Amino acid sequence: MQSSFQCKHSHSFCLIHIAFYVGISSVTFVSVLCSFCQSMAIFIYYALSRYLSFIPYTAIVFLVGVGIGYKAEYFQDNENAILISSLKWITMNGQVVLLVFLPGLIFLDAFTINVHLFFQAFWQLIIFAFPMVLAGAVLSGVVARYMLPYGKKS
C-alpha cells in the first residue's frame, strides 16, 4: 500500500504530491525559478568579471537558459523544483512576461544611458532608427503576406 506521499512512479517522494499535500501553490513554484535565475546570473556575472572577462555574459546566460529549458522539456522530473517552476514559465503567456519585465528593462537602459552621447547622436537616431524600424515592419508584413499561406485555400 502506498503512502500519501508516494508517487505512482518509482520515486519515493514526489515533490508535486508533497506540495499539493502541504498546500504550496503554483505561484511558489514560479518564484523558485526567478530566485534561481537571479542567483545564477549574479554568480555568472561575478565569475566572468573576475576570471573569464573575455567570455560574453549574455552568451553564457543564454546557454544556461537553453540548458534549463531543454532539461525541463525533455527530462520530466517531478522531484526538481526548478524544472517544475520552469515548466510553469514555459506555459505562461508571452505577453504577460513582456508586460512584467519590459518596463524594468527599458527603465534600466534609460537610467544608465550616457546623456551627452544621446544628444550627440539624436539626429542620427531620428533619421536612421525610426524610419528603418517602420520599413522593417512593413517589409516583414509584405514578406509574411506573400510568402506564408495566410488565407489560401488548400
pLDDT tens digits, one per residue of 58-82: 888 889 888 877 877 777 666 667 6
Domain boundaries, the chain: 1-111, 113-154
pLDDT tens digits, one per residue of 100-149: 778 887 887 888 888 899 899 999 888 888 889 899 999 999 998 888 87
**CA 120, 123, 129: angle at the middle one, nearest 5?**
115
Three-state DSSP at 78 gives coil
CA distance 129 to 118: 13
| Residue listed under C-alpha cell 522530473 | 77
pLDDT level of residue 8 (50, 70, 90 thresholds): very low
Whether residue 52 is predicted with pLDDT greater than 90 in this model: the reply is no
Is residue 84 within 8 A of residue 97, CB to CB? The reply is no
pLDDT level of residue 41 (50, 70, 90 thresholds): confident
